Structure 1
Amino acid sequence: MPDDIPADRPGAPAPAAAPIPPTPFARHVRRTLVLALPIVVSRAGAMLLITTDTLAAGHVGTMELAAIALGLSPQLVLFMVMMGALQVTVMLAATAQGEGRPERIGAVLVTAILHAFVLGLLTIPLAFLSEAFFLGMGQEPQLAAEAGAVAITYVWGVPGFMAFLVTAMVIETAGKPAVATAMILAANALNIGLDALLVNGLFGVFPETGAVMATATTSVLRWGLMLAAFAYVLVLARRRGDPWRLLPALRNIGNQLRTAGGENGRIMRRLGLPMGLAQGVESAAFNTLVMMAGLIAPAVLAAHQATMTAVTLSYMTAVGFAGAAAIRVGNALGARNAADVRRAAWTAIGFGGGTALVSGLLLFTLPRQIAPLLASDPALLGPLADALRVAGVVVIFDSMMGVSLGVLRGVGDAWRPLILQCLAFWLVAIPVAWLCTLRLDLGAAGLQIAILSGVAVSFLLLALRIVDRTRHLPGVAR
């Protein structure tokens, strides 16, 4: 066709669509912070429920503290696997939002809740096997029985809590993260009061109990969180004309059950399985390091556990930025804007590493001042300080690794990150731990060196994957 035909005449070629300009970095920074900070508080609040129960049991006695620690240990591994699997909810909801199709979010939420319930219910029979498992691992009968009772009491609240978490993910994706944060903070305030009254016998109103009561009160509160979150989205749907089409999705729940969630369900299972396994790979590797520490000496195990407490607290910021990254990247992917996908990804990773740098510097420069806050045994303070110094570097790479996993969740990359996690932790971190502890006798500091090697290699591999994945996004213009 001749090039001189005017564009407004019949038969003229359609003008090329103007490329979508990328969102300015300043907006990426602002939106990432707005999303991440409440998620940090929300996820930290979820862990604080367990921490409060542990502290309450510890004030009752050593056996109660040991029982809650042992009883919850396998449950927490399962919790991390389920959390990883259900993170697909964020990707699906954020992509629908970015595509300008919020009417799809209701079906995503209903499918996610059904999957959350099923996963939670599957953990219940395992809890009833806990006592036999603990006995098989050589634990004392009294401790095994108490820990088994803790596991059973705890597990009744798991289905409700998993349903709350996926509902909170959708609320956060819709730009209302403060709502989920307020709910988890209210639950923590109630849990502190209930533990003080029912577990520790405050004011003498109730007799002092122990670990089983602590987990029982939290299980009830988990179901309360689910009801509160679901009530919120229902009220939101009725007040705003149901833009997510949640009410039709609920009326269609029978079909959802028959088809196992339909297309959304298939995506959740296809992507969620490797995401959950990726969380499990890291968790299992860390549990292996715990057992390795126990083979060396109780003091090494104690120093390692105290150090990991500091690392875990620092990692809560990474959880928030990982959640924000998955949402922002999913939005950009839904809008078919590759430049925004890359900017959202690296903005979140930069924030994750930058905020971890603050806590890392504190651990690296003030280990002898921080050690007494985590342990009181004078013989433990020296080894603990050495481990904390190494942990100061660990938290930086650990945070960037965690946010990188969030980025890859946002673009729907599932199996490759799992393979990379396996390589980093099982072919690097575990052998380095064996060398540093059992051969070089570096104690708890050696375990932190092993973790550092694992998270550093993992971040490098994941960063290379992000570069490659964001360069070749199917259906997205570069």
Structure 2
Amino acid sequence: MSEATLSRPTRSAWIGEIRSTLALSWPLILTNVAQTGMTATDVLMLGRLGPEAVAASALGANLYFFFLMFGIGVMSATSSLVAAQRGRMAHSVREVRRILRQGIWAAVCISVPCWAALWNGETVLRWLGQDPKLAAEAGAYLHTLQWSILPFLLYLALRSFMAAMERPAWAMAAVFIGLGANALANWLLIFGHWGFPRLGVPGSGLATLCATTLMALVLVGVLMSDRRFRRYRVFGRLWRPDWSRFRAFWRLGLPIGVTVLFEASIFQAAVVLMGLIGETALAAHAVAIQIASLTFMVPLGMGQAATVRVGRAFGARDPHGATLAGWTAFALGVGFMACTAVLMVSAPNLLIGAFLDVSAPTNAHVVETATLFLAFAALFQVADGAQVVGAGMLRGLHDTRVPMWFAALGYWGLGFPLGATLAFPLHWGGAGVWAGLAAGLAVVAVLMLWRWARRDALGLVPRMR
């Protein structure tokens, strides 16, 4: 068969790739949703203590997630490296084990400085001008919450390994077990039920530690007992250094971590801008961003699947397989976001009604503002899906450094200054902030797709064997 024929995948090849991508991505999507559910559970439980407890925990959680997001990005290098290795050698054991070991080492290296910073969280929040009383409560919360960084990053490393092995269901099961454990531990430790101490806000941080530790232990148990995983002897000679692979892991993972930080921080900055605009804008933004965040879980899962599927083709030196895998994930992820964009425009009250009583006169201004924000969210839905799947496609090709600069340019070079300018000097208010977010996401999406489209010319795809 000629190379020209191979460059035109058959209908059966597309259908097969769609099935493989969906089989890999749906557990990843549900895992992402369940992980966000853990945060929602914390807020719901702490809400029973009053608004001060919610505010303090929000301050602490924002600082915690700032550090955690970087670790999440770095850990995702595990799936890209393992997938490529499996593409090079389908039954590789020793090399796969060594890659995963570097992910575990990286989790420890990230956690130690994060612990040091978060232990001084109260001081950091005071430097940022926060209310001293809330900062003290948030600091106490961080003193229990911060220890969950290591078990969560270990869970992510093992989850990424399982995704690269195209067996993500175990990680999904672990996070749902963790979700239940988090809810129970919150109930016991915040309020002091069943003879447990009543710890208040710090009890929620301890509950997260218990849940994330359980999630990591579940996956450790699976790796040691499941026949298909046991042969990798993942924890054999875990202490043994492998500096060349460790450096390779960081060369790939560090830019991903910084990219995730750029993206996450622009949305945190948007909250700050909304707070300067007013209470109504802030409340409406909270509702609209929750809806957008929930829909984002689908293309995020598609992007994670693209990293694995493209990565395997990359390791196998199969450029046509990489093309098929990348465009399949892209079409599925962006197609879903296009459908949600239509829903945001055509039925905003249906979506907002899940968070607010849209018929209550006291909520009228918030509902009206949230409806406007959802119209802007509809504009960036497609761009948001395109940039996250595009990033996943490029990570499958081990291309992370240039996309990092794309994120810096789009989010902080354009999105934030444009949003701030529209919101204040030009008096667009909250709509201006959302317009800036949409523009930043669109620029990043275009740049990611441009680089993917020119992957052959840029030498990102290895020659066919």
Matched, 1:131 2:131: no
Q: How does 1:36-435 map to 2 (within 5 A)?
A: 36-100=25-89, 101-103=91-93, 104-200=95-191, 209-236=199-226, 239-240=227-228, 242-244=230-232, 246=234, 250-251=236-237, 253-256=238-241, 261-375=242-356, 377-435=363-421
Q: Displacement of 1:31 after TM fit?
A: 0.6
Q: Displacement of 1:197 after TM fit?
A: 3.7
Q: Separation in 1 of the partners of 2:344 and 2:108?
A: 40
Output the amino acid matched with 1:153.
Answer: T
Give the corresponding residue for 2:445: 459
Task: Give aligned-pair identity as a percent.
Answer: 27
Q: Separation in 2 of the partners of 1:153 and 1:58?
A: 19
Q: Displacement of 1:131 after TM fit?
A: 0.4
Q: Separation in 1 of the partners of 2:182 and 2:326?
A: 36
Q: Separation in 2 of the partners of 1:17 and 1:394?
A: 38
Q: Displacement of 1:430 after TM fit?
A: 1.6
User: CA offsets per residue over residues 54-101 of structure 1, 9 Å max, x none?
Assistant: 111012211111111110102112111111112110111101111124
Aligned length: 454
Q: Displacement of 1:198 after TM fit?
A: 3.5
State the SS of the aligned residue for 1:374. Answer: coil
After TM superposition, the runs of 4+ consecutive aligned structure 1 residues lying more than 4 A away are 16-23, 204-209, 240-243
Change (3 A) 1:240 1:350: closer
Q: Displacement of 1:266 after TM fit?
A: 1.3
Q: Displacement of 1:17 after TM fit?
A: 11
Q: Separation in 1 of the partners of 2:344 and 2:352?
A: 9
User: CA offsets per residue over residues 235-267 of structure 1, 9 Å max, x none?
Assistant: 23xx359543536xx22x3332xxxx3332111
Q: Structure 1: which 5+ residue stretches go unaligned?
A: 1-15
Paired residues of 1:304 and 1:447 also in contact (CA < 8 A): no
Q: Separation in 2 of the partners of 1:263 and 1:20?
A: 36
Paired residues of 1:322 and 1:404 also in contact (CA < 8 A): yes
Q: Separation in 2 of the partners of 1:205 and 1:243?
A: 43
Q: Separation in 2 of the partners of 1:422 and 1:401?
A: 13
Q: Separation in 2 of the partners of 1:67 and 1:56?
A: 13
Q: Separation in 2 of the partners of 1:357 and 1:451?
A: 17
Paired residues of 1:303 and 1:444 also in contact (CA < 8 A): no
Give the corresponding residue for 1:8: none
Q: Separation in 1 of the partners of 2:86 and 2:203?
A: 42
Paired residues of 2:284 and 2:370 also in contact (CA < 8 A): yes
Q: Structure 2: which 5+ residue stretches go unaligned?
A: 358-362
Paired residues of 1:102 and 1:243 also in contact (CA < 8 A): no
Output the TM-score relative to the length of structure 2: 0.92
Paired residues of 2:333 and 2:389 also in contact (CA < 8 A): yes
Output the TM-score relative to the length of structure 1: 0.89
Paired residues of 1:160 and 1:223 also in contact (CA < 8 A): yes
User: CA offsets per residue over residues 332-363 of structure 1, 9 Å max, x none?
Assistant: 11111101111111111111111122322221
Give 1 or 2 for the bigger CA radius of gyration. 1
User: CA offsets per residue over residues 386-420 of structure 1, 9 Å max, x none?
Assistant: 11121122222111111111111110111110111
Q: Separation in 1 of the partners of 2:298 and 2:155?
A: 21
Output the amino acid matched with 2:292.
Answer: V
Q: Displacement of 1:222 after TM fit?
A: 1.0
